[in-house]
């Protein structure tokens, strides 16, 4: 039996939102993942408080403020953070922002940097040691691109290579898969975008999210568990548009990692252009419904339900169409603008992956073939 990492990373006995002391011994399969999923909102509060108190945005803007565009770069879950963060950055700041896997910087750097006069790049890595991301930082440094490290640790190789860093309190996980670190880094980048744009109202709304999300997550856990335990699926599809597309990709990855199930992700409205041929009662389709595209996305939701698919809908507020076409409806009801409340849309996928893995007799904390950090031989 191994001791779980304490939730604040400093050896304290801070109590997580699951009601258990995070310093207690944890041995049951999936116990680390569940505790980390349920502890997300308190960690968000810590991250946002630190960013505000240290005036991080002003410090970063002093170094990178004359940049003409932003590149958001990562691997795996960190790449999906990049996809969502780039969409939010463009929407909030009005600047051009694009997301790339770190491998694209290594293999096709001229395509990534084509037409970029003075870019800044945010390199995202939970550990700060992911080989491809560190190598991408080296390439960008050689090309004199100024960079920002976004990590959940201190004193890592990525920080040593970048121009500045987004300092977050320790929000790393004991389990292999990213859950708490994903949302903490994403939310911190959203807060940075609001501060960069000097949108004080948006920043204030983002700071309201942790308390609202904590109340929602408490009831969501049991609902997702009951839903998963009562059904058997052969295929999983996760759909989202705009900033929700990156979250759909992450949702599919969580199901794949934690349960060794095959899951796909698409832009919501692209699903009808061929992929919908797989729809059946044994296909679980998860819709992350946006406010901006709600009507068109609900059209597809109704279509997929009419074809016999099993559906989960995650939305802020649902109408009669969404209620009638959803086998499980997750409705937040937050009085916040859309760009302030996207992080909780990951909860359903994290919990679905966890409980699907447990149902299959697996340990979602330690999926086969995976390691917490991908470090390649030189």
Q: Three-state SS across 60-122?
A: HHHHHCCCCEEEEEECCHHHHHHHHHHHHHHHHHCCEEEEEEHHHHHHCHHHHHCCCCCEEEE
Buried/exposed 41-75: b ≥16 CB within 10 Å, e otherwise: bbbbbbbbeebeeeebbeebbeebeebebbbbbbb
* Same-domain check for residues 221 and 347: yes
Nearest to 75 by CA among 375, 328, 282, 318: 375
Beta partners for 165?
149
> 190 lies in a domain?
yes
- Tens of pLDDT, residue by residue over 162-215, are 999 997 887 878 899 999 999 999 999 999 999 999 999 999 999 999 999 999
Task: List, edge to edge, every strand of the sheet that includes 283-288.
Answer: 263-267, 235-240, 283-288, 310-315, 328-331
Is the pLDDT at 371 greater than 80? The verdict is no
Domain count, the chain: 2
* Same-domain check for residues 157 and 237: no
CA–CA dist 129, 127 (Å, integer): 5
Is the pLDDT at 75 greater than 50? The verdict is yes
> 138 lies in a domain?
yes
* Same-domain check for residues 236 and 341: yes
Q: Across the chain, what does the average pLDDT equal?
A: 91
* Same-domain check for residues 210 and 176: no
- Tens of pLDDT, residue by residue over 131-147, are 999 999 999 999 999 99
CATH number of the domain that residue 277 is part of: 3.40.50.10490
* Same-domain check for residues 186 and 209: no
pLDDT for position 24:
47
Can you tell me whether residue 13 is helix, strand or coil? coil
Is the pLDDT at 92 greater than 70? The verdict is yes
Domain boundary among 172, 198, 224: 198
pLDDT for position 13:
33
For residue 55, what are its two tokens?
């005036």
* Same-domain check for residues 184 and 251: no
- Tens of pLDDT, residue by residue over 298-348, are 999 999 999 999 999 999 999 999 999 999 999 999 999 999 999 999 999
Nearest to 268 by CA among 302, 235, 223, 234: 302
pLDDT for position 223:
97
Is the pLDDT at 4 greater than 60? The verdict is no
Cβ pair 367, 176 in contact under 8 A: yes
* Same-domain check for residues 218 and 158: no
Owner of token pair 């790339």: 100
CA dist 301 to 27, 145, 224, 239, 296, Å?
40, 43, 19, 10, 9
Task: List, edge to edge, every strand of the sheet that includes 164-166.
Answer: 96-101, 69-74, 119-124, 146-150, 164-166
* Same-domain check for residues 174 and 215: no
Q: Range of 236's domain?
A: 204-359
> 377 lies in a domain?
no
pLDDT for position 19:
37
């Amino acid at each position: 039996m191994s001791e779980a990492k304490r939730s604040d990373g400093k050896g304290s006995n801070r109590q997580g939102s699951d009601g258990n002391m995070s310093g207690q011994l944890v041995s049951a399969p999936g116990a680390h993942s569940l505790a980390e999923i349920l502890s997300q909102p308190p960690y968000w509060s810590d991250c946002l408080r630190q960013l505000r108190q240290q005036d991080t945005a002003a410090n970063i803007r002093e170094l990178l403020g004359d940049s003409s565009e932003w590149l958001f770069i990562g691997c795996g879950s960190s790449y999906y953070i990049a996809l969502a963060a780039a969409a939010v950055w463009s929407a909030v700041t009005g600047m051009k922002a694009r997301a790339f896997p770190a491998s694209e910087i290594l293999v096709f750097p001229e395509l990534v940097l084509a037409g970029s006069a003075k870019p800044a790049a945010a390199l995202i890595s939970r550990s700060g040691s992911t080989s491809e991301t560190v190598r991408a930082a080296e390439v960008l440094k050689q090309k004199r691109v100024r960079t920002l490290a976004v990590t959940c640790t201190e004193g890592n190789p990525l920080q040593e290579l970048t121009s500045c860093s987004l300092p977050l309190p320790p929000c790393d996980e004991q389990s292999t898969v990213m859950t708490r670190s994903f949302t903490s880094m994403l939310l911190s980048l959203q807060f940075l975008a609001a501060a960069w744009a000097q949108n004080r109202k948006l920043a204030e709304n983002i700071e309201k999210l942790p308390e609202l999300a904590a109340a929602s997550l408490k009831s969501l856990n049991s609902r997702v568990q009951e839903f998963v335990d009562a059904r058997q699926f052969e295929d999983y599809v996760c759909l989202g548009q705009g900033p929700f597309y990156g979250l759909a990709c992450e949702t599919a990855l969580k199901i794949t990692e934690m349960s060794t199930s095959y899951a796909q992700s698409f832009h919501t409205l692209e699903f009808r252009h061929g992929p919908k041929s797989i729809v059946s009662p044994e296909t679980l389709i998860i819709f992350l419904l946006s406010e901006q595209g709600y009507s068109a996305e609900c059209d597809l939701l109704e279509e997929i339900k009419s074809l016999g698919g099993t559906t989960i809908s995650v939305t802020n507020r649902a109408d009669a169409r969404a209620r009638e076409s959803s086998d499980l409806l997750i409705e937040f009801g937050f009085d916040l603008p859309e760009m302030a409340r996207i992080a909780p849309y990951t909860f359903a996928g994290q919990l679905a992956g966890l409980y699907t893995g447990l149902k299959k007799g697996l340990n979602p904390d330690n999926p086969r073939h995976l390691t917490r950090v991908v470090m390649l031989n030189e």
